[in-house]
Amino acid sequence: MTIKIAVAGCTGYAGGELLRLLATRDDVEIGALTAKTSAGTKLGQHHQHLTTLLDRDVLDTTPANLAGHDVVFLALPHGASAEVAASLGEDVLVIDSGADFRLESAQDWAAFYGTEHAGTWPYGLPELPGQRERLAGSRRIAVPGCFPTTITLALAPAVSAGIVDGHDVVAVAPTGPSGAGKSLKPHLLGAELMGSASAYGVGGVHRHVPEILQNLRKLGAAAPTLSFTPVLVPMSRGILATVSAPLSGPTTVQQVRDAYASAWADEPFVTLLPEGLWPQTQSVLGSNYVHVQVAVDEAANRLVVVAALDNLAKGTAGGAIQSMNIALGLPETQGLTTMGVAP
């Protein structure tokens, strides 16, 4: 069976990574590639690394251009997905990289995005309890944000096992500018970015806070609280999150390791590193893996977890393809790499 796919938002970073991962698959046919202001250009003008697709035309994002595909990936700015999705048949698998359909609470949506809530689709994080079953056969999938994937997975086994209860979670996460998309932003110009690290979205205002709390509740946390600080650093891709939370009771690091190893024994893309190895962004670049390491800070009585992923791979496009595989009944790992790129 050949799966005919379209990518709306093909000229952006997420669209480019989707195509990098999909173009080499024998079971995938690359159909329409669409955008907005770039319509009428060639894909090679935007993604010179996509060698076999350089001559492909970038079309306008219209219902007619997106018709006739088995899967349509939406890699559009927040707020643009609902209208496009509404024009696609219910039999078409629509996978949205944006935030529009991630949150269950319309109040949270209004508070953090300031527009009308479009709705809620099955959430594309298969590692959450029961989520593979929800994704199987689904025709609408909301891909998680890159920080929510990192921070949720960092804590998931600990919350599920009751090692922490999800209150007073503190997360600090350096990330690269590719997370902000390709459009021009003054604070992302090379001169401002190079050689400097800067916090942003400080004080509980980043829009990923409600999404992470929603995930922690799904893992069993009754009343989770989170203080989250993203930090922009000069590396093109990657997230390295350090997440800590108070221990529920006396716990050794071996007990924590056992809980993580057992929770992830069958997970294809999340792993607890061997003792002594701490996650590095470079080791997961281009791969769909999340690398995790744990420690117990006895003096502070806190669990400390460090997690690394590639925001464009497992954090967006790789996660989207993992969910597509599940939805279509394909092997979950098809077309996704486990090895990073180094040095």
Ligand X SMILES: CC(=O)N[C@@H](CCC(=O)OP(=O)(O)O)C(=O)O
Active site residues: 146
* Residues of span 92-121 touching ligand X by CB under 6 A: 98-99
| Contact with ligand NDP (CB under 6 A) among 4, 25, 36, 117 | 36
Strand pairing category for 93-96 and 140-142: parallel
**Cβ-based neighbours of 281, under 8 Å, separated by 6 or more:** 176, 235, 237, 238, 239, 240, 308, 310
Residues that bind ligand X (rule: CB under 6 A) add up to a total of 11
The residue sitting closest to ligand X, measured at its beta carbon, is 179
Q: Per CB under 6 A, does 148 bind ligand NDP?
A: no
Q: What is the phi/psi pair of residue 11, to 5°? A: -85, -10
| Contact with ligand NDP (CB under 6 A) among 5, 6, 30, 97 | 97
What is the rounded CA–CA span in Å between residue 139 and residue 176? 31
What is the rounded CA–CA span in Å between residue 84 and residue 101? 13
| Contact with ligand X (CB under 6 A) among 34, 149, 175, 251 | 175
Q: Per CB under 6 A, does 82 bind ligand X?
A: no
**Cβ-based neighbours of 90, under 8 Å, separated by 6 or more:** 139
| Residue 258 CB-density burial (10 A; 0-12 exposed, 13-18 middle, 19+ buried) | middle
What is the rounded CA–CA span in Å between residue 281 and residue 241? 10
User: From ligand X, ligand NDP, none, which one binds at residue 232 (CB under 5 to 8 Å depending on kind)?
Assistant: ligand X
Candidate segments 149-157, 174-182, 189-197, 250-258, binder of ligand X by CB under 6 A: 174-182
In the complex, minimum distance from the CB of residue 35 to ligand X, in angstroms, rounded to a whole number: 17
Residue 154 in tokens: 């960092």
The residue sitting closest to ligand NDP, measured at its beta carbon, is 12
Specify which residues 246 forms β-bridges with: 302
Identity of the residue, 17 or 70, whose beta carbon is nearer to ligand X in the bound complex: 17
* Residues of span 219-238 touching ligand X by CB under 6 A: 230, 232
What is the rounded CA–CA span in Å between residue 147 and residue 138? 24
User: From ligand X, ligand NDP, none, which one binds at residue 15 (CB under 5 to 8 Å depending on kind)?
Assistant: ligand NDP
Q: Which residues bind ligand NDP (CB under 6 A)?
A: 8-15, 35-38, 61, 75-78, 80, 97-98, 145-146, 178-179, 181-183, 311-312, 315-316
Which residues in this chain contact ligand X in the complex, by CB under 6 A? 98-99, 145-146, 175, 177, 179-180, 230, 232, 311
